[in-house]
């Protein structure tokens, strides 16, 4: 795990009480009591006058939707609010419309020492990428997340690994803050929820009730979901033809459960958005003969971001963590350098380790 012990050490060098009039209660750094942690996060945010909200690198709808929902509420209450992420430089096109108040700023506009920092959907400090250093320079760090592997790198950590999306954690916080939901806020929450639950297929009965509440607040489900999950430029089809044509199935891999993989090179992705590249795994993972699917996405020559998916039996978070990454049981990822074949070889080995009979 990427736990930096100094971050949870009450004697760590920075003094949260010195900034922005915000004080962090003693002993609340990693309480593990969700209601108490939520109350503490609400207390800090309701008095903060300057709040920086950060999503993880290569942000998805859960990360940015969560940040923009909370950001919009705090902005309306009069705080100076900025929402950002470490990389890439561009905001994903499909997420821009969520930012109705113009809260998104480039990473370069994030203060060197933000008084109050909120990290959303970010399972470890490293997932903030080039903005990771702000965790140690910020006055107060609030973590809102749903990754089971989150080490609790904030002063206040609201981490609910039973929540299907960070957007649900944010909604609970908005309820504690007494916010009345309206369409722009509900839409941000819905965007995170619909994507992380794969259109509510991985959603509890209670979460369906939350969805009903969001619809009642005015969300147009199809109008939100289609651009996020179901719409690509025509060039996508040509990219898929090439990439899927090279996909390989290894029936004996992953402890005999089957492993399918595909590679998206920079050349394959030229002229397309990250959204097209990110969605390839959703097709590869439909392979019935494979429990585990992987897509290697080329970031730079010899540098890869890898998406892992499992159907039900293999914990791909364990696999990703063996390779320095993280995620959830059925959806995880890691970054790696080298040739694609080398990355696949280490992935195969990690899969065998996790699926070895003694481990079951
Ligand atoms: P993705 O395949 O990029 O959609 O990522 C699936 C999940 O894996 C994300 O929700 C993250 O929780 C996690 N994840 C992806 N990449 C990494 C990484 N490099 N390090 C840690 N966790 C990751
Ligand atoms: Mn995410
Ligand atoms: Mn998420």
State the closest ligand 1 atom to the C-alpha of 196, by its place in the atom list counted from 1: 10
Range of the domain at 93: 5-228
Total count of domains within the chain? 2
Atom 22, ligand 1: residue with shortest CA distance: 326
Are both 196 and 332 inside the same structural domain? no
CATH number at residue 131: 3.90.1640.10
CATH number at residue 355: 3.10.310.30
Are both 206 and 299 inside the same structural domain? no
| C-alpha to C-alpha distance for 340 and 351, rounded to whole angstroms | 16
Asked if residue 192 has its Cβ within 6 Å of ligand 1, the reply is: no
Are both 167 and 263 inside the same structural domain? no
Asked if residue 307 has its Cβ within 6 Å of ligand 1, the reply is: yes
Q: Which of 228, 249, 265 is the last residue of a domain?
A: 228
Ligand nearest the Cα atom of residue 323:
1
Asked if residue 334 has its Cβ within 6 Å of ligand 1, the reply is: yes
Are both 344 and 208 inside the same structural domain? no
Q: Which H or E run includes 227?
A: helix 221-229
Asked if residue 331 has its Cβ within 6 Å of ligand 1, the reply is: yes
Q: In the chain, what is the greatest distance between 2 CA atoms, to the nearest angstrom?
A: 59
User: CA of 358: how far to CAs of 255, 310, 321, 354, in Å?
Assistant: 11, 20, 18, 9
Are both 80 and 168 inside the same structural domain? yes
Q: Which of 228, 259, 292 is the last residue of a domain?
A: 228
Asked if residue 184 has its Cβ within 6 Å of ligand 1, the reply is: no
Digitized pLDDT (tens) for each residue of the chain, 360 residues in all: 333 333 333 333 333 333 333 434 443 344 679 999 999 999 999 999 999 999 999 999 999 999 999 999 999 999 999 999 999 999 999 999 999 999 999 999 999 999 999 999 999 999 999 999 999 999 999 999 999 999 999 999 999 999 999 999 999 999 999 999 999 999 999 999 999 999 999 999 999 999 999 999 999 999 999 999 999 999 999 999 999 999 999 999 999 999 999 999 999 999 999 999 999 999 999 999 999 999 999 999 999 999 999 999 999 999 999 999 999 999 999 999 999 999 999 999 999 999 998 744
């Amino acid at each position: 795990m990427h736990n930096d012990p100094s971050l949870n050490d009450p004697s760590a060098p920075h003094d949260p009480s010195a900034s922005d009039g915000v004080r962090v209660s003693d002993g609340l750094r990693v309480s593990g009591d969700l209601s108490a942690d939520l109350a503490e996060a609400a207390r800090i945010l309701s008095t903060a006058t300057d709040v920086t909200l950060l999503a993880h690198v290569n942000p998805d709808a859960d990360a940015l939707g969560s940040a923009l929902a909370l950001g919009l509420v705090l902005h309306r209450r009069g705080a100076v609010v900025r929402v950002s992420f470490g990389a890439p430089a561009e905001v994903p096109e499909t997420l821009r419309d969520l930012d109705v108040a113009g809260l998104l700023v480039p990473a370069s506009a994030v203060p060197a020492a933000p008084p109050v920092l909120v990290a959303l959907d970010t399972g470890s400090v490293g997932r903030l990428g080039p903005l990771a250093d702000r965790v140690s320079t910020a006055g107060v760090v609030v973590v809102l997340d749903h990754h089971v592997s989150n080490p609790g790198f904030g002063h206040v950590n609201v981490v609910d690994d039973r929540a299907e999306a960070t957007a649900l954690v944010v909604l609970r916080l908005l309820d504690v803050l007494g916010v009345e939901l309206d369409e722009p806020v509900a839409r941000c929450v819905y965007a995170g929820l619909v994507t992380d639950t794969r259109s509510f297929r991985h959603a509890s009965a209670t979460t369906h009730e939350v969805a009903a509440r969001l619809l009642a607040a005015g969300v147009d489900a199809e109008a939100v979901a289609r651009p996020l999950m179901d719409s690509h430029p025509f060039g996508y089809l040509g990219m898929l033809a090439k990439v899927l044509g090279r996909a390989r199935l290894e029936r004996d891999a992953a402890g005999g459960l089957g492993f399918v993989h595909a590679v998206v090179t920079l050349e394959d992705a030229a002229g397309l958005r990250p959204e097209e590249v990110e969605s390839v795994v959703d097709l590869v993972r439909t392979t019935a003969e494979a429990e585990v699917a992987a897509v290697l996405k080329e970031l730079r020559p010899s540098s890869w971001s890898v998406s892992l998916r499992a159907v039900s039996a293999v914990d791909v978070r364990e696999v990703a963590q063996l390779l320095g990454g993280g995620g959830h049981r059925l959806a995880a990822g890691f970054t790696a350098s080298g040739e694609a074949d080398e990355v696949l070889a280490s992935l195969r080995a990690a899969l065998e380790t996790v699926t070895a009979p003694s481990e079951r």
